[in-house]
Chains A and B, each alone.
Chain A
Amino acid sequence: MRIRVEGVSKRFGKFHALKNVSLEVRDGEFFAILGPSGSGKTTLLRILAGFEFPDEGRIYFGDEDVTFKGPEERGAAMVFQNWALWPHMTVYENIAFGLKVRKLPKEVVDQKVRWALKLLGLEGLENRYPHQLSGGQQQRVALARALVVEPKVLLLDEPLSNLDARLRLKLRGELKKIQRELGITAIYVTHDQEEALAMADRLALINKGELVEVGTPEQIYRDPQHPFTAIFIGKTSTAKGRVVERGDGLARIAVGENIITAKAHGLNTERALVVFKSDLAKARPREGYSPLTGRVTVSMYMGSQVEVRMVPKGSEEELVFYLAEQEPPPPGSEVTVYLPVEGVHAYPL
């Protein structure tokens, strides 16, 4: 099912939670909505589910305008952040709920519940109550309960955030696989950039209620059109620079006494905001990399990497880089790091 959000705004009192958000989710797509906490992700998802109505704008499921339809009539199944399993129902009853509400015959309900139990590896747990399950199992029940009604769209609000890191990784893979197999349209809200990049076919970045950018994970990571995206994705640090030379999507930028090559994004000003992708920096020279020399303030050993904080020559802003295969340089010493073009993005300032 294709989903369209058109110019949606939502206020809570004076607070502007969503500002003129438009986006389109393709049929069968895994679409992630990524943003810092408080940016309006949940609000947008709740508007899609019909729990809130927008002050302005419209929501379409396919060609149908569902903007003011109640949650019961949308056929959009939601997985809540806390999973919202009913504590007084068994696993079976939880999963069967949506089917029983649809008044399906008992055999059909049973058959579909069995299918969902099997799909999520929950067989044998059907008579347990939620509190008798582990976190991962509870998460699966919540997912089974949503999938079993064959929703037009699956809405997921940070469904993995209550799990520990290991389990989160495991379920991330399972969830993606199931979505693929069923070909279901999924809208997945998260504040975890890694999760969004790993799972999504496309993702939308949202900040302070505004849609910042939409693209594939590759586009978002490699070619962020908006400084917010550049700063939010990956490990980054920023500095102010002066544009020395411009041309063909690239620019030469002075950061203190260093002159480096950067990807230019709509750069039409003299001064630039330079975003460094900290973990793309190298400790040794390479073809096409720009050197950046400065004085070390702090360095820390981090296992596979070394964190180096340095102030570039002729500058006062501290930058952070993560270098592989390197001893931590002593504070006060001079260090040079080498930056690839896709590791430096310049925006008008």
Chain B
Amino acid sequence: MVELGRRFRDRVALALFLLPTVYLVTFFVFPVASVLLGLKDFDWGLLFSPFYFNLEPVGKMIEIRSFGPRTFVIVKGVDVGVVLNSLINSALVTLFATLIGASVAVLTALFDFPGRRVFIFLASLPLLVAPFVNAYVVKLLYGFNLQGNTISFLLKSLGFDVVVGFTKLAGVTLAQTLAFFPIVYINTLAAIMAIDASLIEQARNLGARGFTVVRKVVLPLAMPGILAGATLVYILSLEDVGAPIVFNFKNLVSYQVYEFFQEFTSIGGVGAAAALCVIMLVASLVPLAVVKKYLSLRYYAKLSRGAPRPFERMRLGRVGMAAAYLLVLPVLVAAAAPQLGVFVLAFSERWVGALPQGFTLGNFEIIFSKPGVFRGIVNSLTYAAMAVPLIAVLGFSAAYTVARETVRGAGALDLLSTAPLAVPGLVVAFGYFIFLHSVAPGSPLDPLTLPAAVLVIAYVARKMPFTVRAVFTGLLQTPKEMEEVAESLGATRGTVLRKVVLPLTKRSLLAGLLLSSIYVLSEVSVSVTIGALGGDVVDPNHAGPITFVIMRLIQAPAFGGGAQPQAVAAAMASILMLIEALVLFVATNRLARRGQSLISV
């Protein structure tokens, strides 16, 4: 400690380093590492049963049947056991999401064509996350449903008597691809925008045309952004429970871990859940190791330093136009439709078949009249109110240390403060459960005693990176000399922080905190696992946050009184999406400085 202290300029610097480091080591590294504790007495041989690995695929990828004039096309996907299913599904989702996201980014950032803004709007829409409800609407639109789905209805009204439907694993893949591709889009976009115009102009000057410029110059230069986005999609897909729950496909790692928290008796018990968490962790660490560099704050700094000269967009040729309108646009519309569908469902009396029925405001009334439902909102706001001040202090300290200190510990903190973005939330949740339940059984920190405390602690660790990033970029754009001059005039470090650094970075801090808070509100993994430990929704004093309530509503068979629980969930999700839209707008348009890309990671 003395040794460590000596490498920092003074106590303030040391404190700023220690605060976030100690927090993240205690509440992130230890819990994640203690997943291994759960492996005690676990027989790994169990994992090699066909339930987990099955090299003889069960089921048919696509089933096509005809009944009279009507053709059924049912896309199902095959079942190759829990572990392989997860790996294959996430790989496919990543592949599709990357293809779509990167294409849209290249198309809209580099080329000018009529309707470009519409493309951008459609691609950005799924950035507003509506946990569970989004997948539910995907199922209504494209899922296989005996009562018909929307896409088949549209096909029929165009004269094609085909019923198309996605179900099982294929449904999960579809829902996740549509929900996650904007993450690749936004990251690729940020990377492309960081390319200086001269690099593109030089290529054209030497005779390269549209597609050659893209292939040889733009894509290689944007690769870090594409890879960072793809990795995040992969991790999000691995840990997602929304789509598996909605499509009722249980043979996925994420679902199995989730189920452990429902009964504490998933097949194989704690040991199997721990083993699955380890697999999930390893599966996400491997790609992460490849792109680690691109996720670090210091790498990020290189991208955002100095504003590149913006380039002129090129005119899109005929082939490009055809591709944009015939290939890309349908995909974008298909991906944006569920987001819009959430709002439609929120105002519908009923939507179970192809089309919604009846307009009502009743779903919003129920949010306030059902105590268990309303309780979720109160809980979420309470948790966020407790988490945000902590995130402010810890996130600011971490960002300041990484931006301004050159000691080795600062580099470690760089990694540590972005790592939570990259570790599946379910692993974190399971780790907390094992860690706190075994370190502090029966104490307020034991999730079985007081899930609320654990939720807040976990939210702080998981959603702090957004604030760290924002403050970090703010600091980069504030020359260090401004602090040094204050010190040379006799100000103490404390005064410098209060009077110089904070005023200069407060907009970035605010932007970061806004982002962190919407991601706290929409957090799923910890919320639906640890959050479920404090009683179910019927209990008016349960500890679950909004997302937990939404999940329960999506799973609910029916209320008494006729309202469709899923529509109530959609109403809650709509409110959440509006808040997200507002925050993203304020944070990116009003608070971020020019050239600062906040929402990409």
Contact = CB atoms under 8 A, between A and B. Distances in A.
Given A51-B312, A78-B201, A78-B202, A86 B207 contact: no
Given A49-B205, A51-B312, A71-B204, A97 B216 contact: yes
A71 B196 contact: no
A101 interface: yes
A268 to B, nearest CB: 46
Interface string B287-326: 0000000000000000000000000100000000000000
A98 B205 CA distance: 9
B207 A102 contact: yes
Interface string A87-127: 11000000001100110000000000000000000000000
Chain A interface size band reads: 20 to 34
A287 B217 CA distance: 65
Interface in B174-229: 196, 198-199, 201-209, 212, 216-217, 220-221, 223
Contacts of A76: 205
A101 B206 contact: yes
Interface string A139-156: 000000110010000000
Nearest to B217: A86
A203 interface: no
Contacts, number: 62
A88 B221 CA distance: 7
Interface size class of B (residues with CB under 8 A): 10 to 19
Contacts of A71: 201, 204-205
A71 B206 CA distance: 8
Contacts of B217: 86
Contacts of A82: 196, 198
A101 B212 contact: yes
Nearest to A82: B198
Given A72-B204, A78-B205, A84 B221 contact: no
Contact of B207 (A49, A80, A98): A98
A8 B428 CA distance: 65
Interface string A67-86: 00011101111101110101
Contacts of A102: 207
B567 to A, nearest CB: 50
A144 B203 CA distance: 14
A149 B196 contact: no
Contacts of B208: 72, 97, 101
A51 B205 CA distance: 8
A129 B522 CA distance: 44
Contacts of B196: 82, 84
A81 to B, nearest CB: 8
Interface in B211-254: 212, 216-217, 220-221, 223
Contact of B201 (A51, A88, A98): A51
A77 B202 CA distance: 8
Most buried by A among B202, B212, B312: B202
A75 B206 CA distance: 7
Contacts of B198: 80-82, 84
A131 to B, nearest CB: 11
A76 B223 CA distance: 30
Contact of A87 (B201, B203, B212, B221): B221
B252 to A, nearest CB: 37
A84 B208 CA distance: 15
Contacts of B207: 72, 75, 98, 101-102, 149
A101 B203 CA distance: 9
Chain B CB within 10 Å — which of A50, A72, A80, A102 has the most?
Answer: A72
Given A80-B198, A82-B196, A101-B212, A88 B205 contact: no
A78 B221 CA distance: 21
Given A51-B312, A72-B207, A101-B208, A80 B220 contact: no
Nearest to B311: A51
Contact of A97 (B201, B206, B209, B221): B206
Contacts of B201: 49, 51, 71, 78, 80, 84
A145 B206 contact: yes
Contacts of A149: 206-207
Nearest to B314: A70
Contacts of A50: 205
Contacts of A78: 201-202, 205
Interface in A168-222: none
Contacts of B221: 86-88
Given A71-B201, A86-B202, A87-B221, 7 more contacts: A49-B205, A51-B205, A72-B208, A78-B201, A82-B196, A86-B221, A146-B206
Interface of A: 49-51, 70-72, 74-78, 80-82, 84, 86-88, 97-98, 101-102, 145-146, 149
9 contacts: A51-B201, A76-B205, A78-B201, A84-B201, A86-B202, A86-B221, A101-B212, A145-B206, A149-B207
* The 3 residue pairs across chains A and B that have the minimum distance between CB atoms: A98-B206, A84-B198, A84-B202
